[in-house]
Chains A and B, each alone.
Chain A
Amino acid sequence: MVGVAAAVILWFSSVSSEPQRVLSNKIEETIILPKGTPERFRQLPEVTRYLHDLSSLRRQGKTVLPLDNDELDHDGTIAQAIVLNDSRFLEDTTRNGEILHNDMMQVRPAIVSELTAKTQKICKRHRCYEAQKYNFATNTTTRAIIDIDTKNVLDIERFSDSQPDINRRLTRIAEAIALGAPEVWKALGYRPARNELSMANVRSSLQGSPCENSEHLCVAPTFADHKKARALWAIVDLTDLKLAAAKWAGLGKTTTPACIDERTLQNRYIMRNFCQKDTHLQKNGWEFIYRLTGSDGLEIRDVRFHGHPVLRSAKIVDWHVSYQQASDAPIDTSTEAYIEGRRVEFVQERNGSYFFGYNDAMGCPMFSTSVVLPFNGPQIVSLTDGFAISQDFRNPKWPMACNYRYENRFEFYNDGSFRVVGINKGRGCGDQAIYRPVMRIDTALSDTERFFSFEHGKWKLWQKEAKARQNDGGYEEGKYRFKITDTQGHGYRIEPGSGKFSDGGRGDDARIYVTRFHPKEGDKDLLTLGSCCNLSEDGPERFMKPPETIADQDIVLWYVPRIHNDARSGHEYCWADTHIDANGNVKVEVWPCSVGPRFIPLQKER
Chain B
Amino acid sequence: MRRYLPVLVSIAFIIALLLFVADYRGMFETKKLLLGSLNKTRSCAHLPNFLQGLEKPIVIDLTQQRFSGIAFLYGKRHHAFYRKDWARFGSFGTYTLDEQGTIFLAPMPFISIKEKTFERQKSLYRIDSDKGVLSLWKTLENVRPSASNPYGIISLVYDCENNALWVGAIDRSDYRKANGRIYRIDKQHAKITQTIKGFDALSLALGRTEDGTITLLAGSAKDGGLYAFRLSSDGTAETPEKLFELPDPKLHIRKIKVIGRNEIIVEAIPFSYALIAQTSKQYRVIYRAQYTPRTGRWNIKHVE
Q: A residues near B, CB below 8 A?
A: 1-4, 6-7, 10-11, 14, 207-208, 254, 258-259, 261, 263-264, 267, 271-272, 275-276, 294-295, 334-336, 338, 341-343, 345, 358-359, 361, 363-371, 373, 396, 525, 527-528
Q: Chain B 108-150, CB within 8 Å of chain A: the 1/0 string? A: 0111111000000000000000000000000000000001111
Is B250 a contact of A294 with CB atoms below 8 Å? Answer: no
Is B249 a contact of A359 with CB atoms below 8 Å? Answer: no
Is A343 a contact of B175 with CB atoms below 8 Å? Answer: no
B189 within 8 A of partner (CB):
no
Is B111 a contact of A342 with CB atoms below 8 Å? Answer: yes
25 A-B pairs within 8 Å (CB atoms) are namely: A1-B9, A2-B13, A3-B14, A3-B17, A4-B12, A4-B13, A6-B13, A7-B19, A10-B20, A10-B23, A264-B249, A267-B272, A294-B148, A295-B113, A334-B84, A341-B65, A343-B68, A358-B111, A364-B274, A365-B274, A366-B175, A369-B113, A369-B150, A369-B275, A525-B147
Output the least CB separation between B300 and chain A (Å): 12
Output the least CB separation between B225 and chain A (Å): 12
Nearest 3 Cβ contacts at the A-B interface: A3-B13, A6-B16, A3-B12
Q: Which residue of B lies closest to A396 (CB)?
A: B276
A3 to B9, CA, bound (A): 6
Q: Most chain-A CB neighbours within 10 Å: which of B12, B66, B68?
A: B12
Taking a contact as CB atoms closer than 8 A, the residue among B20, B113, B273 that contacts A367 in the complex is B273
Is B15 a contact of A368 with CB atoms below 8 Å? Answer: no
Q: Which residue of A lies closest to B150 (CB)?
A: A369
Is A3 a contact of B64 with CB atoms below 8 Å? Answer: no
A341 to B149, CA, bound (A): 20
A345 to B111, CA, bound (A): 12
Is A338 a contact of B273 with CB atoms below 8 Å? Answer: no
Is B175 a contact of A276 with CB atoms below 8 Å? Answer: yes
Output the least CB separation between A494 and chain B (Å): 30
Chain A residues with CB under 8 A of B14: 3
Q: Of residues 236 to 252 in B, which have CB atoms within 8 Å of A's CB atoms? A: 247-250
Output the least CB separation between B288 and chain A (Å): 16
Output the least CB separation between A1 and chain B (Å): 6
Output the least CB separation between B90 and chain A (Å): 9
With A343-B110, A343-B112, A358-B111: A366-B273 Cβ-Cβ less than 8 Å = yes
A264 to B272, CA, bound (A): 10
Is B247 a contact of A368 with CB atoms below 8 Å? Answer: no
B49 within 8 A of partner (CB):
no
A228 to B56, CA, bound (A): 62
Chain B residues with CB under 8 A of A364: 274
Is B175 a contact of A528 with CB atoms below 8 Å? Answer: no
Output the least CB separation between B86 and chain A (Å): 10
Q: Most chain-B CB neighbours within 10 Å: which of A14, A359, A368?
A: A368
Is B13 a contact of A367 with CB atoms below 8 Å? Answer: no
Is A368 a contact of B111 with CB atoms below 8 Å? Answer: no
Q: Chain B 92-121, CB within 8 Å of chain A: the 1/0 string? A: 000000000000000001111110000000
A343 to B91, CA, bound (A): 11
A77 to B67, CA, bound (A): 57
Is A367 a contact of B87 with CB atoms below 8 Å? Answer: no
Is B84 a contact of A7 with CB atoms below 8 Å? Answer: no
A138 to B47, CA, bound (A): 44
With A261-B249, A527-B113: A367-B64 Cβ-Cβ less than 8 Å = no
Chain A residues with CB under 8 A of B68: 335-336, 343
Q: Of residues 183 to 218 in B, which have CB atoms within 8 Å of A's CB atoms? A: none
Is A7 a contact of B272 with CB atoms below 8 Å? Answer: no
Is B247 a contact of A258 with CB atoms below 8 Å? Answer: yes
Interface size class of B (residues with CB under 8 A): 35 or more
Q: Most chain-A CB neighbours within 10 Å: which of B19, B109, B276?
A: B276
Is A7 a contact of B248 with CB atoms below 8 Å? Answer: no
Taking a contact as CB atoms closer than 8 A, the residue among A341, A367, A370 that contacts B175 in the complex is A367
Is A370 a contact of B113 with CB atoms below 8 Å? Answer: no
Q: Most chain-A CB neighbours within 10 Å: which of B12, B64, B272, B275?
A: B272
B292 within 8 A of partner (CB):
no
Known: A4-B16, A341-B111, A366-B274; 11 extra A-B contacts, CB below 8 A, are: A3-B12, A6-B19, A208-B247, A258-B249, A276-B176, A295-B113, A338-B65, A365-B274, A367-B148, A368-B148, A369-B275
With A7-B15, A275-B175, A369-B150: A263-B250 Cβ-Cβ less than 8 Å = yes
A334 to B67, CA, bound (A): 11
B232 within 8 A of partner (CB):
no
Q: Which residue of A lies closest to B283 (CB)?
A: A341
Chain A residues with CB under 8 A of B10: 3
Chain B residues with CB under 8 A of A336: 64, 68, 87
Chain A residues with CB under 8 A of B19: 6-7, 10-11
Is A367 a contact of B247 with CB atoms below 8 Å? Answer: no
Q: Most chain-A CB neighbours within 10 Å: which of B10, B15, B20, B23?
A: B15
Q: Which residue of B lies closest to A295 (CB)?
A: B147
Is B247 a contact of A370 with CB atoms below 8 Å? Answer: no
A208 to B251, CA, bound (A): 11
A258 to B300, CA, bound (A): 15
Q: Which residue of B lies closest to A263 (CB)?
A: B250
With A335-B68, A343-B111: A368-B249 Cβ-Cβ less than 8 Å = no
Is A264 a contact of B276 with CB atoms below 8 Å? Answer: no
Output the least CB separation between A97 and chain B (Å): 30
Is A7 a contact of B274 with CB atoms below 8 Å? Answer: no
A525 to B149, CA, bound (A): 12
B280 within 8 A of partner (CB):
yes
Is B16 a contact of A10 with CB atoms below 8 Å? Answer: yes
B55 within 8 A of partner (CB):
no
A212 to B110, CA, bound (A): 24
Is A3 a contact of B16 with CB atoms below 8 Å? Answer: yes
Q: Of residues 220 to 234 in B, which have CB atoms within 8 Å of A's CB atoms? A: none
A334 to B68, CA, bound (A): 11
Chain B residues with CB under 8 A of A259: 249
Q: Which residue of A lies closest to B118 (CB)?
A: A527
Q: Which residue of B lies closest to A214 (CB)?
A: B250
With A7-B16, A10-B19: A373-B276 Cβ-Cβ less than 8 Å = yes
Is A359 a contact of B250 with CB atoms below 8 Å? Answer: no
Chain A residues with CB under 8 A of B173: 367
